[in-house]
Structure 1
Amino acid sequence: MPTMDAADLAAFLASDFPQVSDDYVIDGPPDMGLRVRLKPAERHLRPGGTVSGPTMFALADVSVYLAILAEIGPQALAVTTSASFDFMRKPAAGADLICECRLLKLGRVLAVGDCLIRSEGDEAPVARASLTYSIPPSR
């Protein structure tokens, strides 16, 4: 049973990461995974008008982070320890990016998540990511 729902996660992001919280919309209810949406703005684009790699990486990273917090509660100091990212195709111009994230492992110390990023309305993934997080010890 998730500890934090989509509204809780959005409030946490707004309070602890206000500099980026407006970039992300949590679309799906947490259940050992999450769906997060990014509506690309001009600042997310690279020359040529496509969404930049760092923007897609950030979407995957935030998605796994929020999926973990949905399960364990607001642990601001959970951190990425490992990441693998595959860029597969150019995102559709002007389309929102949707990150489907699922947790593969949620342990006491480490969590592993897998993400597929798609352009809205297109089933073909634009990127795939696998991330590992370190979870701070409970006090």
Structure 2
Amino acid sequence: MTIRMDRAELTAFLRAEFPQVADDFEVTGVTAEGAALHMKVGERNLRPGGTVSGPAMFALADVAFYLALLSRIGPQALAVTTNCSIDFMRKPGAAPMRAEARLLKLGRTLAVGDVLLFSEGVPAPVARASLTYAIPPAR
């Protein structure tokens, strides 16, 4: 697949379109398969017991897949999540997290992929998300 937005362009897009969360995420890579992100974890991301909350992990998975998709289709802010399922496999610690997003199918109107989530210091994934995105029609 052709990469239409690189790491710097995705970072600039995130800052312009989603300034409210842009500082929470860092695009660490864009490849032919997808994209990788890093998420800072602070007190607001934790649930009782000192673990990263499900909603925080959902946000990381969703943003990672969104940016992986945009890296292929270009800056289309209106691409939206139509489905997401997450399997929480291990308890993440109160540490930064990494996402590895992979596009499995890119069609004209839908994109399907998965995201593995890792907690810093834990070699195995702590969660796996499966996502489908709707792609807006070309104008």
| TM-score of the aligned structures, taking structure 1 as reference length | 0.95
Shift of 1:29: 2.3
Give the aligned residue type for 2:109: V
Partner residue, 1:26:
27
CA contact (8 A) 1:114 1:129 kept: yes
CA contact (8 A) 2:30 2:71 kept: no
Mapped to 1, the partners of 2:10 and 2:115 lie a distance apart of 18
Of residues 117-126 and 96-105 in structure 1, the stretch that sits farther from structure 2 once superposed is 117-126
Partner residue, 2:134:
134
* 1:1-139 superposed matches below 5 A: 1-93=2-94, 95-139=95-139
Shift of 1:125: 1.0
Q: Secondary structure at the match of 2:70?
A: helix
Give the aligned residue type for 1:120: E
CA contact (8 A) 1:33 1:101 kept: yes
Give the unaligned 5+ runs of structure 1: none
Shift of 1:89: 1.0
In percent, how many aligned pairs have the same letter? 64
Mapped to 1, the partners of 2:43 and 2:100 lie a distance apart of 23
CA contact (8 A) 1:67 1:103 kept: yes
Give the aligned residue type for 1:63: A
Give the unaligned 5+ runs of structure 2: none
Shift of 1:41: 1.1
The RMSD of aligned alpha carbons is 1.0
Mapped to 2, the partners of 1:38 and 1:128 lie a distance apart of 16
* Structure 1 stretches of 4+ moved >3 Å: none
Q: Secondary structure at the match of 1:18?
A: coil
**Number of residue equivalences:** 138
